Amino acid sequence: MPSSPPGGFADPLWRSVAVFRFASLAYVGLLVLRDAGRYAHPVAAGGVLLVMLAWSGVTAVGYARPANRRWPLLLADLGVVLAILAVTPWVVGRPALAAGVPALAVAWLAGPVLAWAVSGGRRRGTVAALLVGGTDLVTRGRIGPSSLTGAILLLLAGAVVGHVARLAVSTEERLQRAVELEAATRERERLARDIHDSVLQVLSLVQRRGAHLDGEAGELARLAGQQEVALRALISGAPPTSPADPGDEVDLRSLLSGYASATVQVSA
């Protein structure tokens, strides 16, 4: 999916991903403080928490620039989360996980899923959700209702956020095209008024005055008439003529412009 320009509709989504990371990290910190006594390596849990904090800052700064929203940072983001999930059984301990102690990443692991979804749409978000959710289930050792529900919610988040991000970019592109078309139409109308009041009047005068002359003067008048017709068709902006079914509403300019010639003037 094409990236949104600076100040586009996708920028608020990237800022929301950054806010989510820090908000979910605060929740992770509370859980670590609560369950540190049950961890197999509580000091290592503190170190992992610092890594998560540092990486949240790196991604917040990195994704703030559209030029960085590409594969190197996206893959690194996913790799960091997968690495944290991989060390979770050692830090927390298999017995603690089996007893229901939450994994280290908890909701924070959704960060790269959301980033992939915003960057590439629902397909990319779904792929990231499958990788992160599958790794989380594997590292837990046992699949319970809560862990399975978390994986499903992660998958839904990747698909839904990706769909919303694609809609935002598509809407921005359509709005940009509409603005450009409106600006081009206004410029054409301005030029049409200026040309009608100057060039077309001169060409029309040359064609009328020289229509009955012979030689080069008559040929010049005929060419002036042809150029007048071509110039009027150019500045009118009328759509090309196309067959229409009986009863359909059609633009009369497209029907009448075909009769324009050096002797017939169509004004719309």
pLDDT tens readout for residues 4-63: 555 567 899 999 999 999 999 999 999 999 999 999 999 999 999 999 999 999 999 999
Instruction: Based on the fold, state whether residues 166 and 213 are members of the same structural domain.
Output: no
Q: What is the pLDDT of residue 229?
A: 76
- Asked if residue 250 has pLDDT above 90, the reply is no
Instruction: Give the mean pLDDT of 247-262.
Output: 70
What is the residue range of 220's domain?
A: 198-235
Instruction: Based on the fold, state whether residues 158 and 42 are members of the same structural domain.
Output: yes
The answer to whether residue 192 sits within a structural domain is: no
Instruction: Based on the fold, state whether residues 35 and 87 are members of the same structural domain.
Output: yes
Instruction: Based on the fold, state whether residues 168 and 204 are members of the same structural domain.
Output: no
pTM higher than the cut 0.85: no
The answer to whether residue 261 sits within a structural domain is: no
The answer to whether residue 179 sits within a structural domain is: no
Instruction: Based on the fold, state whether residues 154 and 58 are members of the same structural domain.
Output: yes
Instruction: Give the mean pLDDT of 132-152.
Output: 88
The answer to whether residue 81 sits within a structural domain is: yes
Top-confidence residue, 124 or 145: 124
- Asked if residue 237 has pLDDT above 80, the reply is no
Instruction: Based on the fold, state whether residues 164 and 104 are members of the same structural domain.
Output: yes
Q: What is the pLDDT of residue 2?
A: 45
The answer to whether residue 76 sits within a structural domain is: yes
Instruction: Give the mean pLDDT of 80-109.
Output: 93
* Other beta carbons within 10 Å of 204: 16
Q: What is the pLDDT of residue 5?
A: 52
Top-confidence residue, 183 or 80: 80
Q: Is 267 helix (H, G, I), strand (E, B) or coil?
A: coil
Instruction: Based on the fold, state whether residues 84 and 31 are members of the same structural domain.
Output: yes
Instruction: Based on the fold, state whether residues 139 and 218 are members of the same structural domain.
Output: no
251 CB-near residues (< 8 Å, 6+ apart): 238, 239
**Mean pLDDT score across all residues of the chain:** 85
Q: What whole-number percentage of the chain has pLDDT above 90?
A: 51
The answer to whether residue 256 sits within a structural domain is: no
Judge whether 240 and 254 are in contact, CB under 8 Å.
Answer: yes
Domain count, the chain: 2
Instruction: Based on the fold, state whether residues 48 and 142 are members of the same structural domain.
Output: yes
Instruction: Based on the fold, state whether residues 23 and 103 are members of the same structural domain.
Output: yes
Instruction: Give the mean pLDDT of 210-215.
Output: 76
The terminus-to-terminus CA distance of the chain in angstroms comes to: 42
Instruction: Based on the fold, state whether residues 164 and 206 are members of the same structural domain.
Output: no
User: Comparing C-alpha atoms, which of 123, 92, 120 is closest to residue 106?
Assistant: 92
The answer to whether residue 60 sits within a structural domain is: yes
Instruction: Based on the fold, state whether residues 121 and 211 are members of the same structural domain.
Output: no
The answer to whether residue 258 sits within a structural domain is: no
Q: What are all long-range contacts of 255-260, with beta carbons under 8 Å and residues at least 24 apart?
A: 257/233, 260/229, 260/232, 260/233
